[in-house]
Amino acid sequence: MEIQTVLETRDVTKTYMVGVGVMKAKKPLRAVSGVSLSVKKGSVLGLVGESGCGKSTMAKMILGLENVSSGEIFLGGQSLSSFSPKEIARRVQPVFQDPYASLNPRKSIGSIISLPLRALKVGSAKDLDGKIDEIMDVVGLPPRTKHNYPNQLSGGQRQRVAVARALIMRPEVVLCDEPTSALDVSVQAQILNLLMDLRRELGLTYVLISHDLAVVEHLATKVAVMYLGRIVEEAPTIDLFKQPRHPYTQALLQSVLTPEPHLGLPETHLGIAYPNPIDPPSGCTFHPRCPFAEDICKKEAPSPTGEGGHIVECHFPRS
Amino acid sequence: MKKVLEIEGLFVDLQLPAGTLQAVQNVSFSVNQGETLSLVGESGCGKSLTALAVMNLLPPSGRFRAEKMEFMGESLLGVNEAGMAKVRGDKMAMIFQEPMTSLNPCYTIGNQLEEAYLQHRNVPESEARERAIYLLEKVGITAAASRLSQYPHQLSGGLRQRVMIAMGLMCGPALIIADEPTTALDVTIQAQILALLHALQKEFNMGLILITHDLGVVARMADRVAVMYCGQVVETGLAAEIFNNPKHPYTRGLMDCIPVPGKVEPGQKLGSIPGIVPTPIGNLHGCLFRNRCRYFRSKCAAENIPLIELGPGRAVRCISEQINS
């Protein structure tokens, strides 16, 4: 039996028009350009890249908060544009980065968690309490916190509230945008463990957006590396970390500071500048920072190549 | 090697509506020339307040006292605000976490770079300008002269942090205190900024206090480490000793919490420290980590735990025998 594809993006592009100055024509900024991804049920897709690479724009489009400029997103085989916003909300739910900013300070925890049910008018008012208690138990929140307010909870508990709110609709896809980067290390481990347990128990599908490669390696089953709106490398997690083929992926992996004191600081050879996305470099957009760039890289954009699910967009992939 | 900063018995109290928060309790450490000391711990452990106390920049609700606080052989205790202003930004510089918020958006980069130098050195503006250009080039900023007339919003996050570092170096400090200098940056930029900081530190033979919660950064940068928990130093030692042979249950817990590629299998459960950090208000006694510790015995609650010396420069605040097995 083939495993079902829950989420698929086909050649998705998002272009913003941005002002570059008074009395000057607006210029197009391609935040995401031609991204095709697919996520199988029960798997975890890790989306990594530096700030400004378009990963959050991808998230907004998957959540239906931004329209695609071209291309299409499919949810359970149906185009996202055929759904109403409420239907999308029923099927895709987010967990955001900062649990201090993403919870309404004036609402009680019970009210925050049950908001999706009430907004989408799912179930009767009578069932509501039972459902809140159930989901709080699932994410490991003590029942007594139901009538508390966010400021009475610790950072880890707040993030559990955010997870509970995302899961109460039993969505098909949970989109985690940097779910642990605002948390302390000991709390981060608790939340990562929780996300892993929930995936196993409830068969959840995650899209995990993170700049922390150690977290991505730990949680994701497949990783896509983004650079300037393009997916430059995509592979099953184990392959990607064992044998990164794109020079950018290699530089990213080298930059990870693991707690091994004898290794010292890595040398990444990346240069300073992340290019301005309004005015991207010609050819392969990575060429100004690439130590292996040759003439063709400046002229022609590489097309994706590779086999066995390990796809790389580079003229001279490393092996 | 010469000691740049030596601190003994530092306490910081914050007056809060709920009572006196004992944010830093009896912290002692020293930093030598050309050496990196890392203060590591989770939010609220007092690592930033320790640094602010050294600079005498505590918030209005904060008070500190210490038995000894010597900077380059001279005591900082009892030095008034005017005296501290002479030291700060001159021989002692600080690099803050958020380059977005710690640069003034209304002034040019050049203006902000030159300010401290003009203040401390009484030199003509042209000389300050020269020094600013020299340092911007040192921190790897191209077209340095033209950057001086730019405003912070025209620079990327990585460039801003480079400007912050250049600003810290303007007067040729003997000590740099860097509070989470790379937390707001991307991993690739983080590696570059840390490498830069490290190279400059060696070149100018400065002492560096690196405050961070990121154990990866600590491992790669620090010569010595002090792990803080709830206002106390719970373990200190050389970086290699701390990472290869952590003694305190809290340090061990922290190490188990981070996914390390190659060490922790993907999908495997991470270790975690149960419970939450207590708030140090009121009468503190016993080990502050005891309610989260798996080696807890009744003795841990009864007495205050001293830092027990294990060797030269190596100490741990724990009385459990298990930590040595």
| DSSP codes, A144-184 | GGGG--GGGS-HHHHHHHHHHHHHTT--SEEEEESTTTTS-
Q: Decide: B36 and B208 in contact? Cβ < 8 Å.
A: yes
Determine the Cα–Cα distance for residues B54 and A25; give it in Å rounded to an integer: 52
Query: Is B25 a residue whose pLDDT tops 80?
Result: yes
With CB atoms and an 8 Å threshold, state whether A184 touches B213: yes
Q: Least CB-CB distance to B42: which of A186, A215, A265?
A: A186
Residue B215, C-beta contacts closer than 8 angstroms, at least 6 positions apart: A185, A259, B40, B243, B254, B255, B258
With CB atoms and an 8 Å threshold, state whether A185 touches B218: no
Residue window 233-292, chain B: list those with CB within 8 Å of chain A. Answer: 239-240, 243-244, 253-262, 264, 266-273, 276
Q: Least CB-CB distance to B216: which of A154, A189, A259?
A: A259
Residue A99 exposure: Cα atoms within 13 Å on the Cβ side: 31
Chain A contacts of B264, Cβ < 8 Å? 218
Q: Taking residues B178-198, what's their average pLDDT?
A: 86
Nearest CA of chain B to the CA of A79: how many Å? 32
pLDDT tens digits, one per residue of A135-152: 999 999 998 999 999 998
pLDDT at position B6 = 96
Determine the Cα–Cα distance for residues A218 and B265; give it in Å rounded to an integer: 7
Chain B contacts of A238, Cβ < 8 Å? 266
With CB atoms and an 8 Å threshold, state whether B264 touches A215: no
Q: Give how far Cα A267 sits from Cα of A38, B138, B196, B205, Å.
A: 34, 17, 11, 22
DSSP string, A237-297: HHHHHHS--SHHHHHHHHH---S-GGG--------SPPPPTTSPPSSSTTGGG-TT--HHH
Confidence of residue B324 (pLDDT cuts 50, 70, 90): low
Residue A33 exposure: Cα atoms within 13 Å on the Cβ side: 19
ipTM for this prediction? 0.81
Q: Give how far Cα B120 sits from Cα of B111, B123, B162, Å.
A: 15, 9, 22
Determine the number of helices (DSSP H) and then strands (DSSP E) in chain B: 12, 13
- Chain B interface, best mutation among A97, A100, A186, by max B CB count within 10 A: A186
pLDDT at position A195 = 93
Q: Least CB-CB distance to A214: which of B42, B162, B261?
A: B261
Determine the Cα–Cα distance for residues A215 and B220; give it in Å rounded to an integer: 19
A19 or B106: which leads in pLDDT: B106
Nearest CA of chain A to the CA of B154: how many Å? 12
Helix or strand holding residue B252 (H, E): helix B249-257
pLDDT at position A60 = 92
Query: Is B77 a residue whose pLDDT tops 80?
Result: yes
Confidence of residue B74 (pLDDT cuts 50, 70, 90): very high
Expressed in angstroms, the distance from the first to the final Cα of chain A is 33
Query: Is B261 a residue whose pLDDT tops 80?
Result: no
Q: What is the DSSP letter of B88?
A: B
With CB atoms and an 8 Å threshold, state whether A272 touches B159: yes
Q: Least CB-CB distance to B261: which of A189, A241, A266?
A: A241
pLDDT at position A272 = 57
Determine the Cα–Cα distance for residues B198 and A261; give it in Å rounded to an integer: 14
Beta bridge partners of A209: A47, A177
Determine the Cα–Cα distance for residues A120 and B109; give it in Å rounded to an integer: 51
Q: Least CB-CB distance to A258: which of B186, B216, B239?
A: B216
pLDDT at position B263 = 73
Q: Taking residues B230-241, what's their average pLDDT?
A: 94
Query: Is B138 a residue whose pLDDT tops 90?
Result: no
pLDDT tens digits, one per residue of A8-28: 999 999 999 888 777 888 888
pLDDT at position A8 = 94
Determine the Cα–Cα distance for residues B76 and B111; give it in Å rounded to an integer: 29
Nearest CA of chain A to the CA of B263: how many Å? 10
- Chain A interface, best mutation among B45, B47, B188, by max A CB count within 10 A: B188
Determine the Cα–Cα distance for residues B3 and B73; give it in Å rounded to an integer: 8
| Reduced 3-state DSSP string for A58-106 | HHHHHCCCCCCCEEEEEECCEEHHHCCHHHHHHHEEEECCCCCCCCCCC
pLDDT at position B274 = 82
Record the pTM: 0.87
With CB atoms and an 8 Å threshold, state whether B243 touches A259: yes
Torsion sign, CA atoms A37, A42, A48, A51: positive
pLDDT at position A10 = 94
With CB atoms and an 8 Å threshold, state whether B220 touches A257: yes
Nearest CA of chain B to the CA of A43: how many Å? 12
pLDDT at position B44 = 84
With CB atoms and an 8 Å threshold, state whether B272 touches A185: no
Inter-chain contacts counted by CB atoms under 8 A, chains A and B: 138
Identify the weakest region by mean pLDDT among A172-176, A260-264, B26-30, B69-73: A260-264
A292 or B266: which leads in pLDDT: A292
Q: Give how far Cα A205 sits from Cα of A72, B83, B233, Å.
A: 20, 60, 42
With CB atoms and an 8 Å threshold, state whether B190 touches A257: yes
- pLDDT < 50: residue spans in chain A: none
DSSP string, A181-248: TTS-HHHHHHHHHHHHHHHHHHT--EEEE-S-HHHHHHH-SEEEEEETTEEEEEEEHHHHHHS--SHH
Q: Taking residues B123-148, what's their average pLDDT?
A: 90
Q: Least CB-CB distance to B219: which of A51, A257, A267?
A: A257
Query: Is B220 a residue whose pLDDT tops 70?
Result: yes
Average pLDDT, chain B: 90
